[in-house]
Amino acid sequence: MNRFTKQNKIIHLVEANYHLLPVLNRFGINLGNKDKSLEKICAAQNINIDFLLAIVNTFHNEEYFPETELKSFSPLLIIDYLKKTHQHYIEYVLPKLESLLELLIDSNITEIHQLNIIEQFYQKYKKELLLHIKEEEQEVFPYILNLVNNNQVNNQFTIHSFEKEHSNVDDKLNDLKNLIVKYIEPVYDNNICNEFLITLFRFEKDIKDHARIEDKILLPQLITLEKHING
Amino acid sequence: MDNKVYIVHGSAIVQQGLSEVLLKNFKCTIQCYYDFKSLSESDDNCASKSIIFVEDKIANSTEFLQFIDQSHEVKSFSIVNDCAGNLPVNNDYTLSLYNSPDEIYEGIKHAFNTQGLADEESEGLSNRELDVLKLVALGYANKEIAEKLFISTHTVMSHRKNITEKLGIKSISGLTVYAIINNYIDTTNLDIKDLI
């Protein structure tokens, strides 16, 4: 799979993979840039082009994950990107999933109410995800920022296993998919169901990429920083 | 069964004997250890889909149960010293030192469904797995399930692994949803919201 370069234009990226659209938005890049290259767009908007390319390429190609390069970027850049991703989930993806689920439930005219149980499950998943995001934004990220900016280690603070949290949240998303695809009576509008599942699949891919950056890049960076400061 | 097999047992005689029975019946490579510490400290990372036969006192130790809980695709059998010989050969991931080679072969085959022994219905969940699923769905912990069903915690966890593998559902809430929509549990007097 080809890797995107500085010379590419937005249209090249989007034609190859339209799932990159929200990723570009997270960097503050909008459409309508005529024929400008990524390099020019980034220079004009003061965006770190190397970081953008690393993120875009890893998102596009699951096999491509240049750990050393990614770890060389400032944790501040990474945190900023991760926060934008959280915002995208909270403001756009979750509300979209919910409204589709509502439509799906409304499309059922039978007496079978399995979808209501699925909705309870979804709510539980959402609650856990939001809690996880809140912990990251209110505890983990500020801790890292303090580490980077002030060289301060708080020995009271423990990273309560990022990775385990992630796998718990991922498991539920996977279960939601399986329950609908395999076990629920199909007493609903198929088109709405497809739309819901497509949104779910896309979200799953996005969130896996997100978790991979946290677990494989940010967390090791944090451990190295702590070691460095502690001497 | 073309697998990597580990035997963790304090007795060299048991290691030798079980190895012989396994090699006679299944295509596998076997690695023996006298205790769990040696296995966990060895470079031999228990690859996915490996099978561990383990002395019962080790099988029910906290370290081993934790290890099994974290290694999703590893399955394990506990080997009990059942000198009275009353241990039935069943699907409960338990072998007795007094089982005949044939019984051992059947027990393993049955547990892993290698010859499609499970009934084809209900995603192939055995009755015992259904019992465990229902209790998991009702919110019981592994230890409580073990007490209710008169089996070891190790056996409960082995069933849970199998259930997850067969259904493709990993979380407890997900299993609860599955149990409710299939009417495996009666929710008339329960608040579904709390249950999930």
Q: What is the pLDDT of residue A157?
A: 64
**Per-residue pLDDT tens over the stretch A41-63:** 999 999 999 999 999 999 999 88
Q: Which of B167, B169, B196 sits opposite A120 (nearest CB)?
A: B196
B196 contacts on A by Cβ (under 8 Å): 117, 120-121, 124
| CA nearest neighbour of A171 among B168, B75, B160 | B168
User: pLDDT at residue A184 above 60?
Assistant: yes
Domain membership of residue A2 (yes or no) is no
3-class state of residue B53 by DSSP: strand
Looking at the structure of chain A, the number of domains it has is: 2
Domain membership of residue A1 (yes or no) is no
- The 3-state secondary structure of A143-168 reads HHHHHHHHCCCCCCCCCCCHHHHHHH
Q: What is the pLDDT of residue B115?
A: 37
Ranges assigned E (strand) in chain B:
2-8, 27-33, 51-55, 75-80, 94-96
Q: Are residues B84 and B133 in the same domain?
A: no
Tokens of A55: 């993120």
- How many Cβ atoms are within 10 Å of B110's Cβ, its own excluded? 17
**pLDDT band at residue A158, thresholds of 50, 70 and 90?**
low
Domain membership of residue A156 (yes or no) is yes
Q: Are residues A129 and A23 in the same domain?
A: no
Question: What is d(CA B1, CA B114) in angstroms, rounded to the nearest whole number?
Answer: 7
Q: Are residues A35 and A148 in the same domain?
A: no
Last-in-domain residue among B91, B112, B133 = B112
Looking at the structure of chain B, the number of domains it has is: 2
> Amino acid letter at B152?
S
Q: Are residues A169 and A91 in the same domain?
A: yes
**pLDDT band at residue A161, thresholds of 50, 70 and 90?**
low
- Please name the helix (run of DSSP H) or strand (run of DSSP E) that holds residue A220, with its range, or none: helix A219-230
- Residue A9 near residue A38, CB atoms below 8 Å: yes
- A138 exposed, middle or buried (CB, 10 Å; 0-12, 13-18, 19+)? exposed
Q: What is the pLDDT of residue B93?
A: 81
Q: What is the pLDDT of residue B9?
A: 94
Domain of A193? 70-230
Question: What is d(CA A184, CA A30) in angstroms, rounded to the nearest whole number?
Answer: 40
Of A70-79, A87-96, A215-224, B136-145, the poorest mean pLDDT is in A215-224
Domain membership of residue B117 (yes or no) is no
User: pLDDT at residue B191 above 90?
Assistant: no
Q: What is the pLDDT of residue B90?
A: 55
- The Cα of A52 is separated from the nearest Cα of chain B by a number of Å equal to 35
Q: What is the pLDDT of residue A133?
A: 94
Q: Are residues A198 and A129 in the same domain?
A: yes
Contact A179 B169 (CB under 8 A): yes
- Residue B78 near residue B152, CB atoms below 8 Å: yes
Question: What is d(CA B194, CA B188) in angstroms, rounded to the nearest whole number?
Answer: 13
Q: Are residues A105 and A212 in the same domain?
A: yes
Choice between A14 and B26, residue whose per-residue pLDDT is larger: A14
Cα-based distances in Å from B166 to A126, A216, B66, B125: 26, 30, 21, 7
Domain membership of residue B151 (yes or no) is yes
Domain of B73? 2-112
Say yes or no: B185 contacts chain A, CB-CB below 8 A: no
CATH number at residue B99: 3.40.50.2300
What number is the ipTM of this complex?
0.87
**Per-residue pLDDT tens over the stretch B78-135:** 888 877 655 555 556 888 888 888 888 877 777 665 433 334 444 678 888 999 999 9
pTM of the model: 0.80
Rounded to the nearest integer, the mean pLDDT of chain B is 83
Burial B7-22 (b: 16+ CB within 10 A, else e): bbbeeeebbebbbebb
Contact B170 A121 (CB under 8 A): no
